[in-house]
Chain A
């Protein structure tokens, strides 16, 4: 299939070329965060305490990898279901996140926020966790190590495949297909 490769950090120029339904690959740096990381980030923001990383222009991947076996950069690393992070998306966008990667529906409120903040929601291949691990060349824990698989990992990825679900113009692949 025809794919577009994009490089992090993301800019508005890159994001405005993405349309719902596009098959793109990402190279560069992305960060994992799932339920507990989001909850904790929201608490830290509310308390005006420092965050483990600067989220400006970042890509957040909703994922909690399996433990890293010896000799590999990371374990299995597919997406988790995104709607559980809907309640925290406003905060993450305010912190500067430009793209989220996960799987499954987003709420109407999140879709509106994506348009407002000119950010993109992509899905990657749920349940293809061994396949996706092949696109990760390095993984380092950079926050909340005590959360185990729910820690924030900094991933260096090479042609990590995703499908654009919600673009900055309000396009919605999931809605289009049903």
Chain B
């Protein structure tokens, strides 16, 4: 068995939090540049130009990409050949709390959701999801999700005989109803199958996949949803234009004979995440 020290985990998480807050991933930046090059409407083009300038200022001046520095979502894929020294959840929380304070990142988490709603002041707890996988390494992903786009999340339990067209209509309608609220151009993560909770989690994981789906039917569906969403006219930040959605990613899972859950994760244009294998 290989042992990973608390310090190693702490440093990795802290580094991912910093990078995610100040530097847009390359492929997300490239997606913005491609949309800028192909957008026809002047205001939409200028809007994407401002979003691109924002990424440069954030990186150069160390100002967060967004004032909403997000809920911190952490995906841990822990190899069966690895032991993490101590409680990894405590280490993650310490790394998040220290880094948010040190780098002037906005704490946006309240302890009680309904009554007191008092800010914890540390942006913790982070929301940690753990998978056990083969191997002797740990993959850590830090994903920052803003409240404005999270509020546009949607889940629908279809019946198994639902037509693909009905599912596409549901997704396009959700994007239309969200309109300008989640800060388009969106990165759309779609979880299909599993149970309701699994579909929702897969919608989160899906949006972090760099490549289109490996299976051609799903890949074609991603492409069709993208094209349909971009016919809505909503455009960048809802000011009108052809780029309402930048990327669509689907992650499917086995499901019950009676169910067909479809979950939507509408991520804003500022898709902030970073991964590392330790």
- Beta-carbon contact of A178 and B232 below 8 Å: yes
**Distance between Cα atoms of A72 and B63 in the complex (Å):** 10
In the complex with contacts A66-B104, A178-B232, A125-B65 CB distance below 8 A: no
Question: Is A168 part of the binding interface, using a Cβ–Cβ cutoff of 8 Å?
Answer: no
| Residues of A close to B151: CB separation below 8 A | 81
Nearest-neighbor residue (CB-CB) of B22 within chain A: A130
Q: Mark A99-140, 1 if CB is under 8 A from B, else 0.
A: 000011100000000000000000101111111011000000
Q: Which of A1, A69, A76, A125 is close to B51, meaning CB atoms less than 8 Å apart?
A: A125
Q: Interface segment, B2-10, B54-62, B207-215?
A: B54-62
Q: Is the CB of A65 within 8 A of B67?
A: yes
Residues of chain A within 8 A (CB-CB) of B67 are 63-66, 75-78, 129, 149
The SS class assigned to the B binding surface is loop
B202: shortest Cβ distance to chain A, in Å?
24
Q: Is the interface of A mostly helix, strand, loop or mixed?
A: loop
Chain A CB within 8 A of B179 CB: yes
- Shortest Cβ gap from B119 to chain A (Å): 6
Residues from chain A with Cβ under 8 Å of B69 in the complex? 66, 76
A23 to chain B minimum Cβ distance, whole angstroms, is: 7
| Interfacial residues of chain B within 226-278, with CB under 8 A of chain A in the complex | 232-235, 237-241, 268-270
Size bracket of the B interface: 35 or more
Q: How far is the CA of A130 from the CA of B23 in the complex (A)?
A: 12
The reply on A94 being an interface residue by CB < 8 A is no
For A35, the closest partner residue in chain B by CB is: B117
A interface residues, tally (CB under 8 Å): 40
Interface residue B50 (Cβ < 8 Å from any Cβ of A): yes
Is residue B15 contacting chain A, with contact meaning CB distance below 8 A? no
Shortest CB distance A72–B (Å): 7
Please report which residues of chain A, range 155-169, place their CB below 8 angstroms from some CB of chain B when the two chains form the complex: 161, 163
A46 within 8 A of B: no
What residues of A have a CB within 8 angstroms of the CB of B106 in the complex? 64-67, 75-76, 149
A13: B residues at CB distance < 8 A: none
Asked whether B65 lies within 8 Å of A176 as measured between CB atoms, the reply is no
**Please, how many angstroms separate the alpha-carbon atoms of A177 and B238 in the complex?**
8
Closest CB in chain A relative to B235 CB, distance in Å:
6
* Distance of A130 Cα from B119 Cα, bound (Å): 23
29 contacts between A and B (CB under 8 A): A1-B42, A23-B43, A66-B64, A66-B69, A72-B63, A75-B104, A78-B67, A81-B151, A83-B181, A104-B238, A123-B180, A126-B237, A126-B268, A127-B66, A128-B51, A129-B64, A129-B67, A130-B61, A130-B63, A131-B54, A133-B63, A148-B121, A149-B108, A174-B179, A177-B233, A177-B234, A178-B179, A178-B232, A178-B233
Starting from the known contacts A126-B148, A130-B58, A131-B50, 10 additional A-B residue pairs (CB-CB under 8 Å) come to A66-B104, A125-B47, A125-B237, A126-B183, A126-B268, A127-B65, A127-B269, A128-B54, A130-B54, A178-B176
Binding site for A on B (CB under 8 A): 42-43, 46-47, 50-51, 53-54, 57-58, 61-69, 104-108, 119, 121, 146-148, 151, 176, 179-181, 183, 232-235, 237-241, 268-270
Binding site for B on A (CB under 8 A): 1, 21, 23, 63-69, 72, 75-78, 80-81, 83, 103-105, 123, 125-131, 133-134, 148-149, 161, 163, 173-174, 176-178
